[in-house]
Amino acid sequence: TSSVVFVTTGTGGASIHALTYSDAYIYFKKQLRSVKDEFGKIDGILFHQGEANHQRKLGSSEYESDFLTLLSNIRKLTDAPVYLSQASLCQSKPDELLLEIQDKLIKEHKGVLRGPNSDLLFDPKFRLPDYCHFSNAGLDELSRMWFRHSLIDS
């Protein structure tokens, strides 16, 4: 039989910098080690982050360098592919610069693969009133996007 194990290590509202250099990374690293110890391997990391780095919030100026530091740290623990979703929509329109940076990371770095573009979930029914975080309907649809994406990728 085949099984899939998901481990959530999310930190709501965190910037890529916080996920790379704070307690959020320590927790992430601990979870990766725990999964590897329990199951012997990690097949993939689904990475969805970006909204906090929208130009209208914290900005994307350090996104690429912070992500590459995070990726380097991940590589010390596993060579599993990192599926990077494109995510920028928060309180307004998508951040085209941030989407370009995420696209560049996917295209230029081995082991960084394309995840779904969650900015396509712009209909208000998919978002909470802050128009940044996902509603239940948005989370359901994002899950479907990840699933459809995994079928294409395999």
Residue 5: pLDDT over 80: no
Most confidently modeled range among 7-11, 140-144, 148-152: 140-144
DSSP output for 67-116: HHHHHHHHHTT----EEEEE---SSSS--HHHHHHHHHHHHHSTTEEEEE
- In the structure, what pLDDT confidence band is assigned to residue 4 with cuts at 50, 70 and 90? confident
Return left, alpha or beta for 59; rule: phi > 0 is left, psi -120 to 50 is alpha, else beta: left
Each as own residue / partner, the long-range contacts of residues 143-148 (CB below 8 Å, 24 or more positions apart, any chain) are: 145/116, 145/118, 145/120, 145/121, 146/46, 146/85, 146/115, 146/116, 148/116
Q: What is the pLDDT of residues 108-137, one digit of tens each?
A: 999 999 999 999 999 999 999 988 889 999
Q: What is the pLDDT of residues 78-106, one digit of tens each?
A: 999 999 999 999 887 899 999 999 999 99
Q: Which residue has the tokens 């998901």?
A: 6
Q: What is the pLDDT of residues 26-79, one digit of tens each?
A: 999 999 999 999 998 899 999 998 888 877 666 677 899 999 999 999 999 999
Number of other residues whose CB lies within 10 A of the CB of residue 7: 13
Residue 9: pLDDT over 90: no
Cα(41)–Cα(94) distance, rounded to whole angstroms? 35
φ, ψ of residue 96 in degrees (nearest 5): -60, -35
- In the structure, what pLDDT confidence band is assigned to residue 149 with cuts at 50, 70 and 90? confident
